[in-house]
Amino acid sequence: MRRFAELYWRLDGTTAITDKVESLRGYFAAATPDDAACALAVLSGGRQSRAVPLPVLRRHAAAAAGIPDWLLEECYAQAGDLAETLALVLPPPDRLPEPPGPDRAGIGPDLGLAAHVQRLEALRGEKDDEVIGRFLLDTWRVLAPRERIVWHKLLTGGCRVGVSRSLVARALAELAGVEPATMIARLVALAPLDGAAFSRLLDGNATGPDGLRPYPFFLAAALDEPVERLGAPAEWLAEWKWDGIRAQLVQRDGATALWTRGEDLATEAFPEIAAAAAGLPPGTVLDGELLAVRGECLLGFAALQRRSGRRRVTRPLLAEVPCVFVAYDLVEARGVDLRGLPLVERRARLTDLLGTVGALPASFRPAGSVSEAKPSDATASDTPAAGATLWLSPEVPGAAWEDLAARRAEARDRGVEGLILKRRQSPYGSGRTRGDWWKWKIEPLEIDAVLLYAQAGHGRRATLHTDYTLGVWHEGRLVTVAKAYSGLSDAEIVEVDRIVRATTRERKGPVRIVEPSLVFQIAFEGVAPSARHKAKLALRFPRIVRWRRDKAPPDAGRLADLARLCTAATLPGPAP
């Protein structure tokens, strides 16, 4: 318990990722397998339950501390954390009252985390107040105040630690001497979580889940020079820059894993894709993009996020937000690593492979679009089989850079972010190596909008108004279209805060409605229908580019300009 508490406080005391990983590694290196397995369960945010009802705990703590119940509540009000309050009011171990009864075998200051958790499990549901009181006193008598806080959190079922699964995996990977992705695969396969399982986790000879690890993702860099500098267009292969989640689909020995770029395992969140992958030949790794698609409509990133965030997906959600995997590379085939081959060859094999499974529809349209489907100009023009979920990302043809630039200009209508340019002879590299793969994204859209509401920020900015709701003109009044969390310099934030306070017209809870006076230039990626804003549409990824001190509210943009970008949205009031 002492060592786990130490880990807890070290993780609590730093925001530096390297420190956290270092602390985790140190803990896992020294902990017994049982304790380590237990700690891993807590760190992974597993379900915890309360061993003792809170009022009972409070009553016993106040009694042990020799203070009245009301004073404990006063303390709680000041400290704001029950586990901490109890730990602080209790006297040091040697000055706690001797619990009644003689038998306290097995409880000492060296009792490990796993043993403590086991004791808590055993206590759950205990009704005898005397037994609970003795249990608490026995434990308090062996724990120092900082250990008590952590123990109280375990006891009340609220022990949460600020580390992500990937940080834990990184620390364990370092210990085991394997890639983090390998460790994530092992962690996912780990059940039940006990000491023996933990030992296998670190054992380099472990097989099974290791077999499903992905390759390091090859990332495209943003093109920051004129496209002509890339040389002859014929040397390049152009594809749409899909607005989805980058992922690798791994199928080996009949088992499937879907890895997103953050090396998070998303197999459970996309069961239809995992099912489709079962039809691939063993030893296949596809690189591609997860997209939410219904029929020929792209449902957009927001819809996709409703799927990606889940560990379990409900049937209605599956029907509402169907997802596909659009493949653009074949990284492994028949168990052979193809990364050294030129892209053209990998792509030829990919086309052969997916020809048997499915291909992309002629053209996608953004969700809500009412325009007619555009005629196909992609190479893969076969109509997909109904329900196909593994598709080939088509090549976007263009003999000259001007042609490709024209295709790129269509990106917004197609619901994609622009083009990806890949050198046809490029191997599948690793990381964001510049030179072979480029993102050629479209420029963001922009509009000038007026500050209408402001709200205080959080954390470091808790006392400053940094959350801005902005509006544009519609029929002679300003309607809200976006919420932006600053983008201004610290000095500007302070200045805007002062103006917000000085021009507040009305306060609604934490929100201040201000006299319209400030104009900001807003960049955004698109426009979508929305019920949240009065304009019935909302900007995608809005952010403040700059404060237009040179402009006054009458100079701000109009809702009609935005509505043109979102043909499906209905404008408030009379139809446009």
Partner 1 sequence: MKDLLEVTESGLYCAAGDFHIDPWRRVPRAVITHAHADHARPGCDRYLCSAAGKLVLRTRLGPGATIDCLRRGESLSSNGVRVSLVPAGHVLGSVQVRLEHGGVVWVVTGDYKTAADPTCDPFEPVVADVLVTESTFGLPIYRWPDATDVAAEINAWWRANQDAGRASIIFAYALGKAQRLAALVDPAIGPIVAHGAVAKLVRAYRDSGVRLPPIDGVPPGARSVGHGRALVIAPPSAAGSRWLRLFGTSATAAASGWMMLRGVRRRRGFDRGFILSDHADFPGLVAAVEASRARRVLVTHGSAEAFSRFLRERGLDAAVLPTRFVGEAPPDGNDDPDGTDPDGTDEKADGVTPATAPVAPAADGDAGMGAPP
Could you tell me which stretch among 77-85, 325-333, 507-515, 522-530 binds partner 1 (CB under 8 A)?
Answer: 77-85
Given 12, 228, 235, 296, the residue binding partner 1 (CB under 8 A)? 12
**Minimum distance from residue 498 beta carbon to partner 1 (Å):** 16
How many C-beta atoms lie closer than 10 Å to residue 154's C-beta?
A: 21
Contact between 456 and partner 1 per CB under 8 A: no
| Helices 195-202 & 33-43 angle (0-180, nearest 10) | 90
Given 47, 127, 311, 460, the residue binding partner 1 (CB under 8 A)? 460
Could you tell me which stretch among 72-80, 192-200, 233-241, 254-262 binds partner 1 (CB under 8 A)?
Answer: 72-80
Q: Closest by alpha carbon to 212, among 288, 130, 138, 282?
A: 282
How many C-beta atoms lie closer than 10 Å to residue 149's C-beta?
A: 23
**Minimum distance from residue 73 beta carbon to partner 1 (Å):** 10
Could you tell me which stretch among 76-84, 276-284, 434-442, 514-522 binds partner 1 (CB under 8 A)?
Answer: 76-84
Could you tell me which stretch among 32-40, 62-70, 406-414, 508-516 binds partner 1 (CB under 8 A)?
Answer: 62-70
Q: Say which DSSP state 92 is in.
A: P
Contact between 29 and partner 1 per CB under 8 A: no
34 and 43 in contact (C-beta within 8 Å)?
Answer: no
3-state secondary structure of 160: coil
Given 84, 239, 417, 467, the residue binding partner 1 (CB under 8 A)? 84
219-246 burial: b if 16+ Cβ within 10 Å, else e: ebeebeeebeebeebeebbbbbbbbbbb
Given 74, 110, 296, 337, the residue binding partner 1 (CB under 8 A)? 74
Query: Which residues in 105-164 contact partner 1 (CB under 8 A)?
Result: 149
Could you tell me which stretch among 69-77, 243-251, 305-313, 440-448 binds partner 1 (CB under 8 A)?
Answer: 69-77
Contact between 85 and partner 1 per CB under 8 A: yes
Q: Closest by alpha carbon to 243, among 24, 490, 496, 540?
A: 540
Contact between 70 and partner 1 per CB under 8 A: yes
| Amino acid symbol at 457 | G
Tokens of 98: 């001797």
Where does residue 123 rank: exposed (0-12), middle (13-18), buried (19+ CB within 10 A)? middle
Given 65, 250, 285, 482, the residue binding partner 1 (CB under 8 A)? 65
- The sign of the dihedral angle between the CA atoms of 373, 379, 380, 381 is positive
Contact between 71 and partner 1 per CB under 8 A: yes
**Distance, CA of 192 to CA of 188 (rounded, Å):** 11
**Minimum distance from residue 79 beta carbon to partner 1 (Å):** 5
Given 78, 205, 207, 314, the residue binding partner 1 (CB under 8 A)? 78
Backbone angles phi, psi at 260, to 5 degrees: -85, 170
**Minimum distance from residue 57 beta carbon to partner 1 (Å):** 16
**Minimum distance from residue 13 beta carbon to partner 1 (Å):** 7
Total residues binding partner 1 (CB under 8 A): 20
Choice between 145 and 262, CB closer to partner 1: 145
520 and 542 in contact (C-beta within 8 Å)?
Answer: no
Q: Closest by alpha carbon to 525, among 489, 484, 479?
A: 484
Choice between 84 and 264, CB closer to partner 1: 84
Instruction: Give the length of the chain.
Output: 576
3-state secondary structure of 490: helix
3-state secondary structure of 186: helix
Contact between 463 and partner 1 per CB under 8 A: yes
Cis peptide before 281 (omega within 30 of 0): no
Could you tell me which stretch among 61-69, 117-125, 246-254, 494-502 binds partner 1 (CB under 8 A)?
Answer: 61-69
Contact between 79 and partner 1 per CB under 8 A: yes
**Minimum distance from residue 82 beta carbon to partner 1 (Å):** 12
**Minimum distance from residue 466 beta carbon to partner 1 (Å):** 16
**Distance, CA of 419 to CA of 411 (rounded, Å):** 8
Contact between 81 and partner 1 per CB under 8 A: yes
Contact between 7 and partner 1 per CB under 8 A: no
565 and 527 in contact (C-beta within 8 Å)?
Answer: yes
Q: Say which DSSP state 555 is in.
A: G
Contact between 311 and partner 1 per CB under 8 A: no
Could you tell me which stretch among 47-55, 84-92, 104-112, 297-305 binds partner 1 (CB under 8 A)?
Answer: 84-92
Given 56, 67, 123, 442, the residue binding partner 1 (CB under 8 A)? 67
Choice between 67 and 317, CB closer to partner 1: 67
273-293 burial: b if 16+ Cβ within 10 Å, else e: bbebbeebeebbbbbbbbbbb
* Structure-derived torsion over alpha carbons of residues 193, 194, 197, 203, reported in degrees to the nearest 10: 120
**Distance, CA of 324 to CA of 76 (rounded, Å):** 51
Contact between 22 and partner 1 per CB under 8 A: no
Could you tell me which stretch among 82-90, 388-396, 480-488, 505-513 binds partner 1 (CB under 8 A)?
Answer: 82-90
Query: Which residues in 87-106 contact partner 1 (CB under 8 A)?
Result: 88-89
Choice between 17 and 71, CB closer to partner 1: 71
Choice between 68 and 397, CB closer to partner 1: 68
Could you tell me which stretch among 66-74, 238-246, 472-480, 551-559 binds partner 1 (CB under 8 A)?
Answer: 66-74
Q: Give the chain's radius of gyration (CA, Å).
A: 29
What are the DSSP calls for 227-291, one per residue?
GGGG--GGGEEEEE--SSEEEEEEEETTEEEEEETTS-B-GGG-HHHHHHHTTSPSSEEEEEEEE
Contact between 576 and partner 1 per CB under 8 A: no
Choice between 314 and 463, CB closer to partner 1: 463
Interface residues toward partner 1, by CB under 8 A: 12-13, 65, 67-68, 70-71, 74-75, 78-81, 84-85, 88-89, 149, 460, 463
